[in-house]
Amino acid sequence: MEQLDLNFVRSHFPALSEEKLKDKAFFENAGGSYMCKQVIERFDRYFKQRKVQPYGFYEASALAGEEMDSARARMAEYLNVNTDEVLFGPSTSQNTYVLAQSFLENMNESDEIIVSDQEHEANAGAWHRMSKRGIKVKVWQIETDTGSLNIKDLEKLITPKTKFIAVTHCSNIVGEINEIREISKIAQNNGSLLIVDGVSYCPHGLPDVNELGADIYFFSAYKTYGPHQGVMVIRQKAKQALTNQSHFFNSKYSDKFMVPAGPDHAQVAACNGIIDYFDAVYEHHLQENGEHNKHKKPKIVAKLFREHEIKLLKPLLDYFRGNEKTRLLGPGDNVLRAPTVAFTVKNKNSSEIANQLNEYNIMAGAGDFYAVRPLKALGINPEDGVVRLSFVHYTSMEEINMLLNALEEII
């Protein structure tokens, strides 16, 4: 295992060879990645053979339930948590909304929470609305020039009244990977819970949640090569602060107590395909199935992804570093960030840049990306927002060069 076999991984994404897409370079992965073929195959089989009420008495029903249970167990294994700590909801935004309602039932007006200002609204809005119920919401401000979070600022905010800290693992516009382990130590020493948004981090390799020290960790499967589901880990310690938000008779079920409606059976089952793909990457590069190496397997897959992405990030960041016409958000060091690169251009609208990139067969996005709070903190008008270039491990250096040539022409 020296480096990522790009031809191998690209062969697992049908969109990359589609007639209308194959000549275009996709740089809006942070808005939703392409889906790997294993997920598509899982959907196909489920809808053809198992589209029935699961957990019943006949074969199709039993198989449907088994496939849903398998997705949960395998996701837990990759995240290094217990199976009963993983659940699936409709989206990350809805998962945090439900969490907030649950927390409120055991909180009072003397309680405080800390929310970073680097957040996508999914990990901000639900917490800020708690102030309407008398909860004191403290904002962990970002540095207005870099967009970074300073841990010393967090230490000034935390008190014995702090019930939890909500922070992103990696911002969807700043791109910087935050020191979650350090933040976890601060939370644990204070007796506070730590809630982490991993939506912009997980496409680049699923983390070891146990090592991170997060009490609640969530991400979006549809941005991680899978179906439109919100995956959420709730550790045992955090469950003690939560109350059932499902039907009263579902309170004893760890996969249901935070899901007010029933699960989307096919979507949950198809999440198996994400792990199928990661397993295929591992087996191809290591020439083994990894059964005896279960805890190292996710880290090896993440390392393969990450090293390839870091290599591709460098020329893109070098371009912005020497360009006085642009403002790059987040660090210029490719090791410190994810390949989610947001920028503005002097005297040009962000939407104008995105439209021009499209003329060069570059698929990119522009706008606020639901990161209105950090954009305002950075002095950027959310109405115009930023241009965002986001890629993942299946992106090629040829596509990076294609992007750089387009940027040279446009900017």
- Residues 176 and 196 grouped into a single domain: yes
- Residues 209 and 324 grouped into a single domain: no
- Residues 55 and 135 grouped into a single domain: yes
CATH, residue 16: 3.90.1150.10
CATH, residue 120: 3.40.640.10
Instruction: Give domain status of residue 246, yes or no.
Output: yes
List, for residues 127-154, the tens digit of each pLDDT value: 999 999 999 999 999 999 999 999 999 9
- Residues 305 and 344 grouped into a single domain: yes
- Residues 91 and 206 grouped into a single domain: yes
Instruction: Give domain status of residue 290, yes or no.
Output: no
Instruction: Give domain status of residue 1, yes or no.
Output: no
- Residues 377 and 358 grouped into a single domain: yes
How far apart CA 375 and CA 388 sit, in angstroms, is 13
Of the residues 274, 307, 329, the one at which a domain ends: 274
- Three-state secondary structure along the chain? CCCCCHHHHHCCCHHHHCCCCCCCEECEHHHCCCCCHHHHHHHHHHHHHCCCCCCCCCHHHHHHHHHHHHHHHHHHHHHCCCHHHEEEECCHHHHHHHHHHHHHCCCCCCCEEEEECCCCHHHCHHHHHHHHHCCEEEEECECCCCCCECHHHHHHHCCCCEEEEEEECECCCCCEECCHHHHHHHHHHHCCEEEEECCCCHHHCCCCHHHHCCCEEEEEHHHCCCCCCEEEEECHHHHCCCCCCCCHHHCCCCCCCCCCCCCCHHHHHHCHHHHHHHHHHHHHHHCCCCCCCCCCHHHHHHHHHHHHHHHHHHHHHHHHHCCCCEEECCCCCCCCECCEEEEEECCECHHHHHHHHHHCCEECEEECCCCHHHHHHCCCCCCCCEEEEECCCCCCHHHHHHHHHHHHHHC
Rg over alpha carbons for the chain, rounded to the nearest Å, is 21
List, for residues 240-284, the tens digit of each pLDDT value: 999 999 999 999 999 999 999 889 999 999 999 999 999 999 999
> How many other CB atoms are found less than 10 A from the CB of residue 98?
22
| pLDDT for the residue numbered 404 | 98
Instruction: Give domain status of residue 257, yes or no.
Output: yes
List, for residues 45-79, the tens digit of each pLDDT value: 999 999 999 999 999 999 999 999 999 999 999 99
- Residues 400 and 358 grouped into a single domain: yes
Of the residues 274, 304, 332, the one at which a domain ends: 274
Range of the domain at 188: 44-274
List, for residues 361-386, the tens digit of each pLDDT value: 999 999 999 999 999 999 999 999 99
| pLDDT for the residue numbered 41 | 99
- Residues 162 and 211 grouped into a single domain: yes
Instruction: Give domain status of residue 245, yes or no.
Output: yes
- Residues 129 and 211 grouped into a single domain: yes
Region 314-327: mean pLDDT is: 95
Instruction: Give domain status of residue 281, yes or no.
Output: no
| pLDDT for the residue numbered 1 | 61
Q: Residue 288: pLDDT band by 50, 70, 90 thresholds?
A: confident
- Residues 73 and 97 grouped into a single domain: yes
- Residues 134 and 222 grouped into a single domain: yes
Number of domains in the chain: 2
Yes or no: say if 364 and 350 are a contact pair by the CB < 8 Å rule: no
- Residues 165 and 225 grouped into a single domain: yes
Instruction: Give domain status of residue 291, yes or no.
Output: no
Region 13-31: mean pLDDT is: 97
| pLDDT for the residue numbered 289 | 73
Instruction: Give domain status of residue 289, yes or no.
Output: no
| pLDDT for the residue numbered 291 | 73
How far apart CA 330 and CA 11 sit, in angstroms, is 32
